[in-house]
Structure 1
Amino acid sequence: MTRIITSLSEISAQYDALFVDLWGCVHNGVSALPDAVAALKDYRASGGKVVLVTNSPRPRAGVQKQLVAFGVPDDSWDTIATSGDSARSAMFRGVVGEKVWHIGYPDDERFFEPIGVVQNPVNVRAVPLEEAEGIVCTGPRDPLADPDDMRPEFLMAKQRGLKLLCANPDIVVDRGEQREWCAGALAQLYTDMGGESLYFGKPHPPIYDLARRRLSALGTDVPDNRILAIGDGVLTDIAGAMGEDIDSLFISGGLAAAETKTNSDPDPDALKDYLKREMSNPTYTIGFLR
């Protein structure tokens, strides 16, 4: 059974590194969450390393620019691992072919910029669905539209045997007070229709391998039992941590605030019922990162 805590400092001395989710934990899609920033600063001041592990389809540099815009200071983290970087590496290795049908926002085209870590990358280019060898999904065209609107195009893609590369496994996020669909909702639909979806963000192993490499690049070799994963998604952050056999801290005031009846702290009974329904077992739970 998860242990409810009221501050990161209660448990932080047990860990040398944090794998921290961004959306819903450090910012709300509009601005930084001050208590979370302060907690991460204090942790770093004690000698700990903070790896921001995000299912953003953006490259690391793009996420860093976004953090500046949201007011998340550079001294609250050490390095960043994005599902976008993990997925881009796979894309340029040719896992969905050279000619791809892209689903996403217009400014996601930076996803297709050359990446230096892949030797002999394939020449990936976006084409119409009728000409595609595979699909690259960085997000929905309209984050407020019903993912089911994609069903006719997905039926054609499935019939042609196209694989879908999902750059962000998240189903939904909350931008301020507005809930939006993510690429993971489209990938889930495609899979439910019988198509094949390839995932590279949480809870899947590739992004954790990337996070460990980014942590090691800081000159710090940290064993898994000294890493704590923090996030508000039981199906992504917590499931991924459980799969990697690392401890986790569930932020109940994010995506599951209503289900866990979290104001400042979660209601213990509501939290227990929610985790039982989701078959999730985070090591710790806190209302908000602080």
Structure 2
Amino acid sequence: MWSGDELDLDAYLARIGYDIGRDGELAPDVRTLTALHRAHVAAIPFENLDVALGRQVPLDLKSLQGKLVDRRRGGYCYEQNSLLAAALERIGFQVAGRGARNRSRGATLPPVTHAVLAVTIDGEQWLADAGFGWQGVLEPVPLRAGARVEQSGWTFGIGVEDEGIHVLRSLRPEGWTDLYAFSPQTLYPGDFTVMNHYSSSHPQSRFLGQVVAQRPGADVRRALVRETLSSVRADGSAEERIVDTADLAVTLEAEFGIELDSEERARLERLHAAGV
């Protein structure tokens, strides 16, 4: 389903810094899922730079591996979770896609455009999501009502609403905040392709015309959206600074591990300077 048989697993493990001798043998169990998820999130940044540059965003495994693994770039949810799904499938996990509605922007009702994974282990489902940016989980979360997990000082929970809708929530100093909600309906790679088309090309997509790079670190979470670089810690403390055009490439590399070639740098700097 996720082309796991085509994945260069050794290259993927090297990209995320997973060493079998140090971190343990791979098996379709909770320990492996947790370790891989955490390593993936720490190593591969969330970013939309190809969309900002007006490029196509292919989701076939060869393209994903070439970009996120070989070129050591990042990607957004469809890319991140398609690659993670391929790795999990290759190891022997049962993986299904889900489509989520983002609730992190308040009372608006956006379309279902976020792609997540449901992984089944010994009859229990786990939410796996390496692609929600700086607000996302570090590790998988059990998909059961009332589940609450603490991950390096960040607390997440699962609620269940009418029609079996699951809600991922984050505990902030001011209380619980909904991040996104999704139904139990299974989605497939082709469904990710349809959602990806909207997010990468529709005029109302929030990914067009601006630079976005994010990383949900264990100690501090960072997000660059347009010219503003935001940092937040688990205690709620936060800071912001403006990134000017001259500092854009340096910031992307230093804060997110994203290295640009000369053409990408020039085009993104022009976009950044225009402030579209």
Q: What is the TM-score of this pair, normalised by structure 2?
A: 0.26
